[in-house]
Amino acid sequence: MTDHRKIAVVTGGSRGIGRAICARLGRMGCFVWVNYVSRSDAAEKTIELVKQAGGQGQTVQFDVADFDQVQSAFKSIVAESGSVDIVINNAGITRDGLVARMKEADWDAVLDTNLKGAFACAKAALKPMMKNRWGRIVNISSIVGYSGNGGQVNYAAAKAGMVGLTKSLAREFASRKITVNCVAPGYIVTEMTQELDDAVKEKMLSEIPLAALGEAEDVAAAVEYLVSDQAGYVTGQTIHVNGGMYM
């Protein structure tokens, strides 16, 4: 059993934005369950960062696209930690391609992980949150869910769907003091963006009023606010972290 720290579950917490969110929750004193699918070594590295930040944590392996795995994992988390107070639906994949060439399997894989996964995790967490009459769910959407993007029809649809999911959940569970919000990152420095050539980076920067790519910590800061007591009167909203690229 953990102590009276807030219990947080972060999906896709082994790297990138998810890792930064886990570290920020650790700094807030949370016990962080770091979800991963295949990179146990990366997830353990995240746990080290959580502990360095002042929190505690443990890794948990499950595929958010598998509804039964999600239900089983959350039951185990509640059994061991006593509750789930915070859920960050961050896990996401891409299977980019133009519609004319996109396979049905590519559509299904992205929607299952990015959208159904958020639904499954929220559903699994709501029972303990309702029992406690307190909870925070934050869905990590994307600027692409608002602006669209050629070659990413599956990803854009899933991320836009997360916004509707967020608003509906917020309305359903507000009476139980459970808030549900979104953070929509723009172009964030990740392993993927670091590999882009200079010409592509320059084009990206020209479209951002602040003329800089965001950092994973910028997204984590928005999440920190939304899960804090200071955001208790904020629900059904999206915070855009994109340097002004989408307004």
**What is the CATH classification number for the domain harbouring 72?**
3.40.50.720
Q: What is the pLDDT of residue 128?
A: 96
Number of domains in the chain: 1
Rounded average pLDDT over 24-51: 96
Mean pLDDT of 117-124: 98
228-246 pLDDT, tens digit per residue, is: 999 999 999 999 999 999 9
Q: Report yes or no on 108 lying in a domain.
A: yes
User: Percent of the chain beyond pLDDT 90?
Assistant: 91
Residues known to be catalytic: 155
Q: How many CA atoms lie within 13 A of 76 on its CB side?
A: 14
Q: In sequence order, which ranges of 36-152 are alpha helices (DSSP H)? A: 40-52, 67-81, 104-111, 117-132, 144-147
Q: How many CB atoms lie within 10 A of CB 157?
A: 18
Give the whole-angstrom CA distance, residue 34 versus residue 45: 10
Is the predicted pLDDT of residue 3 greater than 60, yes or no? Answer: no
What is the CB neighbour count within 10 angstroms for residue 114? 29
- What tokens appear for 222 in the block? 């928005």
What is the residue range of 60's domain? Answer: 7-189+217-241
pTM for this model (two decimals)? 0.95
Q: Could you tell me if residue 133 is left (phi over 0), alpha (psi between -120 and 50 degrees) or otherwise beta?
A: left
What average pLDDT does the chain have? 95
User: Residue 109 above 50 pLDDT?
Assistant: yes
- The verdict on residue 86 lying in a domain is yes
Residue the block writes with tokens 């295949």? 38
Rounded Cα gap, residues 218 and 167, in angstroms: 23
